[in-house]
Amino acid sequence: MESIAVIDFETTGVSPAQARATEIGVAIIEDGRIVDRYQSLMNSGAWVPPFIEQLTGISNAMLRKAPPSEQVMNEVADFIGERPLLAHNASFDQKFWDAELARVRRRRAQPFACSLLLSRRLLPEAPSHKLGNLNAWAGLPDTGRAHRALADAEMAANLTLHLFGLLRERHGRHQADHAFLCQLQNLSAAKVRALLAAA
């Protein structure tokens, strides 16, 4: 299996137009397992609202001691390199990844896959497709506190490895790669069945 960077941001809000990232976690998956990790708080000078602090456990005091967001984004972009990207609910993380990269005059070259969309295609029977609920339902490892970036990145990584396993075992897709995931996540349920039947 190719190397994929699974990322997760914690932020001060839902849109990079009004919010900033406070933490990033990355889990690199390759050959069926997590092989490397990156995690850092990031100080952009943004204020963390009380409800976000309660949700994530990340306080303004913690961020004052954190490295500057510019330093973190350059480090994590170098750490990831050209690996394709994946996140759970990737539309959220992609917006922040692109916005924070732009602040350090860098640009994303690789596509994002989304484990939320993929789980809806491959696990339609799951009662919930929220990351923590889905991982608990599938019996995947507990990675620590939810709404902390590395724990959530590792949860999404474990889920992605589980989905690769389903593609192999249920559908005979032994050569599925990131490009195939991107193709699969954008199809309707009927077209997904047709694509998987063509294995």
* Locus of tokens 């640009």: 107
At residue 144 the predicted structure's pLDDT band, cuts being 50, 70 and 90, is: confident
Closest CA to 36 of 14, 3, 73: 3
CA distance 99 to 117: 22
At residue 196 the predicted structure's pLDDT band, cuts being 50, 70 and 90, is: confident
Q: What is the mean pLDDT of the chain?
A: 95
Position 193 scores a pLDDT of 84
- Pairing status of strand 21-30 against strand 33-41: antiparallel
Burial 17-55 (b: 16+ CB within 10 A, else e): eebbbbbbbbbbbeeeebeeebbbbbbbebebeeebbee
7-31: pLDDT as tens digits: 999 999 999 999 999 999 999 999 9
C-alpha distances in Å from residue 154, one per residue of 50, 56, 61, 64, 178:
26, 16, 26, 26, 17
Q: Are 157 and 141 in contact (CB under 8 A)?
A: no
Position 190 scores a pLDDT of 82
Mean pLDDT of 115-129: 96
Mean pLDDT of 114-135: 96
Position 107 scores a pLDDT of 97
Examine the pLDDT at 126 and tell me if it is beyond 90.
yes
Examine the pLDDT at 199 and tell me if it is beyond 70.
no
Q: Tell me the fold of 4-198.
A: Nucleotidyltransferase; domain 5 (3.30.420)
Mean pLDDT of 87-113: 97
* Locus of tokens 């069926």: 32
Domain ranges for the chain? 4-198
CA dihedral for 118, 120, 122, 126, sign (positive or negative): positive
147-181: pLDDT as tens digits: 899 999 999 999 999 999 999 999 999 889 999 99
Q: Name which of 48-62, 66-80, 185-199 the model is least confident about.
A: 185-199
Which pTM value belongs to this model?
Answer: 0.96
Position 174 scores a pLDDT of 86
Mean pLDDT of 84-110: 98
**Degrees to nearest 5, angle at CA 63 with 59 and 66:** 145
